[in-house]
Amino acid sequence: MMERDPIEEDSMTAVLSLVDPRLLERHDLTVDDLADLPEDLRYELIDGRLVLTPHALPIHQIIVNRTVNAVEAQCPEFEYVVNGEQAVRMGLRSELKPDVVLIRAEGANRSPVLPADVPLVVEIISRSSKHYDRNNKMKDYALAGIPHYWIIDPLDVQVTFTQYRLGVDGNYHRQLQTDELVTIHEPWEITLDLPAWTRKRDYLDEVGRPDR
């Protein structure tokens, strides 16, 4: 069994205090049932169940921000919006919050946004999400018809990037996996400096105090 991170445990305790415990016991929730939850609460609705997630470590948010900046660098000015942790309505009883979401402008004036308006989602792997991001979420995003899915893994020896594209068979197919400086060309030219992200992560690990 994987050892729980004390920081994640403290974060989860704080998150739980913001939610009516009765919601966590239900398996029939809809997206509309969650409309009054605090906006800064990190949660997803999965098949009618409210799933809470602890606030991520700073390196996770650093990579989210750098990914957003990379996608925005040559993004057409008016056609798209790039958001971090944007809710995507996957169905009546499912609402996911990818770490980075690219949204067509005509669908960006609502939340949660609809999958038909989302050409790209990005998940940054964390200890609590690595299995779900690589399996269940991949299937959910493919079923919703989202054309591009990226996974960035800061838990590997080097920070890695994996690019998937939706095929005509309705499944994602891996296009690229790398831990190097990379420029991809879908949905437009985007450069990700993975070695720089690895150096940042390793430095934070090196200088971090052991009083966890």
Phi–psi pair at 166, nearest 5 degrees: -75, 130
- Among 111, 121, 112, 176, which Cα is nearest to 143's? 121
Q: What are the E-state strand segments in the chain? A: 43-46, 49-52, 80-84, 88-91, 94-96, 100-104, 120-124, 148-153, 160-166, 172-178, 181-184, 190-193
- Distance (Å) of CA 105 to CA 4, 66, 102, 109, 119: 40, 21, 9, 8, 11
- Distance (Å) of CA 43 to CA 94, 95, 97, 182: 11, 9, 8, 31
Q: Whole-prediction pTM value?
A: 0.81
- pLDDT tens track for 85-106: 888 998 887 889 899 999 999 9
Going residue by residue through the chain (212 aa), what tens digit of pLDDT does each one get? 334 455 445 444 444 556 677 777 777 778 777 776 766 677 667 777 777 777 778 999 999 999 999 999 999 989 999 998 888 998 887 889 899 999 999 999 998 999 999 999 999 998 766 666 677 889 999 999 999 999 999 999 999 999 999 999 999 999 999 999 999 999 999 999 999 999 999 999 999 887 65
- Among 132, 45, 51, 136, which Cα is nearest to 94's? 45
- pLDDT tens track for 119-140: 999 999 987 666 666 778 899 9
